[in-house]
């Protein structure tokens, strides 16, 4: 059950949704529930049938940079519940519903991913493991990747330095895979958290991609430390990490 409280900014009257079923919940859980109920992207995701609000982060980034195109081969690392995969399927025509080139989209995650038309999904699989990457190679069947996406993040420990190290390790795992499996001119998009190591990661990506930039999409919550590194124009495997 929720109640609505009206408040004014002086320019416009807003309604804030206040949940009432918070008894027994931790403060952090109460804050999360209140934020979810008042997040316009959460409601928009439901209306547009996306599995979660994160779809709009990828939509916004791609709208501004145009790297997802029909006929491409794409992998989505850390795909669950599948909203980025949904976007990739639509924009690369992996479901064949458009009269354009048909693309290939692979999604992988440690969690189970419910089936999604047009996508090849590897649930309950850890992308960082060699056996998981060998499975991806089998699905690619000698094809190279045009776009490598990663919205992966580790489970937070609460220790900032450890969390930062863990997410950077995930980024480097994705980068190493990308430089081995990408077509010339390919694109890399990875999620990071603000903190030490990000400038070095940018420089390492620049070794392999012509252009690298840091992006904070509007759909990313303002209180979140997340940002995305976008590498464009893969130059080929000419150096090593």
CB 229 within 8 A of CB 202: yes
Looking at per-residue confidence, does 45 or 208 come out higher? Answer: 208
Q: Which positions are annotated as active-site residues?
A: 191
List of domains in the chain: 2-38 (no CATH), 52-234 (3.40.50.150)
pLDDT in tens, 59-107: 999 999 999 999 999 999 999 999 999 999 999 999 999 999 999 999 9
Report the pLDDT value the prediction gives residue 43, as an integer from 0 to 100: 85
Question: Positive or negative CA dihedral for 127, 131, 135, 138?
Answer: positive
pLDDT value, residue 102: 98
> What are 143-180's pLDDT values in tens digits?
999 999 999 999 989 899 999 999 999 999 999 999 99
Half-sphere exposure of 15 (CA within 13 A, CB side): 7
Under 8 Å between Cβ of 99 and 116: no
Judged against a pLDDT cut of 50, whether residue 28 lies above it is answered with no
pLDDT tier at 187, thresholds 50, 70, 90: very high
Residue 124 and residue 79 in contact, taking contact as beta carbons nearer than 8 Å: no
Strand pairing category for 119-122 and 73-77: unpaired
153: nearest Cα among 225, 78, 54: 78
In this structure, the number of other CB atoms found within 10 A of the CB of residue 171 comes to: 23
How many CB atoms neighbour CB 15 within 10 A?
10
Dig out the tokens for 105 from the structure.
């989209």
Would the CA dihedral through 27, 33, 38, 42 be positive or negative?
positive
Of 8-17, 96-105, 124-133, 143-152, the poorest mean pLDDT is in 8-17
Tokens 């999409």 locate to 217
Task: State residue 49's pLDDT score.
Answer: 85
Type and span of the H or E element at 106 = strand 104-108
Q: What is the pLDDT of residues 205-238, one digit of tens each?
A: 999 999 999 999 999 888 889 999 999 999 987 6
Token pair recorded at residue 178: 């990308």
Q: What distance in Å separates the CA atoms of residue 48 and residue 33, rounded to the nearest whole number?
A: 21
């Amino acid at each position: 059950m929720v109640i609505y409280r009206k408040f004014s900014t002086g320019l416009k009257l807003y309604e804030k949704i206040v949940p009432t079923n918070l008894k027994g919940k931790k403060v952090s859980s109460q804050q999360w529930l209140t934020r979810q109920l008042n997040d316009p992207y959460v409601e928009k995701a439901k209306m547009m049938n996306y599995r979660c609000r994160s779809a709009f982060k990828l939509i916004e980034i791609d709208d501004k940079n145009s790297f997802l195109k029909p006929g491409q081969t794409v992998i989505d690392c850390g795909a669950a519940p599948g909203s980025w995969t949904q976007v990739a399927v639509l924009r690369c025509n992996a479901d064949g519903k458009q009269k354009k080139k048909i693309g290939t989209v692979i999604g992988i995650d440690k969690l189970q991913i419910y089936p999604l038309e047009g996508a090849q999904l590897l649930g309950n699989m850890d992308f960082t493991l060699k056996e998981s990457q060998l499975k991806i190679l089998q699905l690619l069947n000698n094809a190279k990747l045009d776009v490598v996406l990663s919205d992966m993040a580790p489970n937070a420990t609460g220790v900032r330095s450890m969390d930062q190290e863990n997410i950077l390790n995930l980024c480097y795992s994705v980068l190493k895979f990308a430089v081995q499996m990408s077509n010339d001119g390919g694109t890399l998009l990875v999620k990071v958290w603000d903190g030490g190591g990000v400038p070095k990661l940018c420089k390492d990506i620049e070794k392999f991609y012509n252009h690298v930039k840091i992006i904070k999409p509007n759909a990313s919550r303002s209180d979140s430390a997340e940002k995305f590194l976008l590498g464009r124009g893969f130059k080929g495997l000419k150096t090593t990490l």
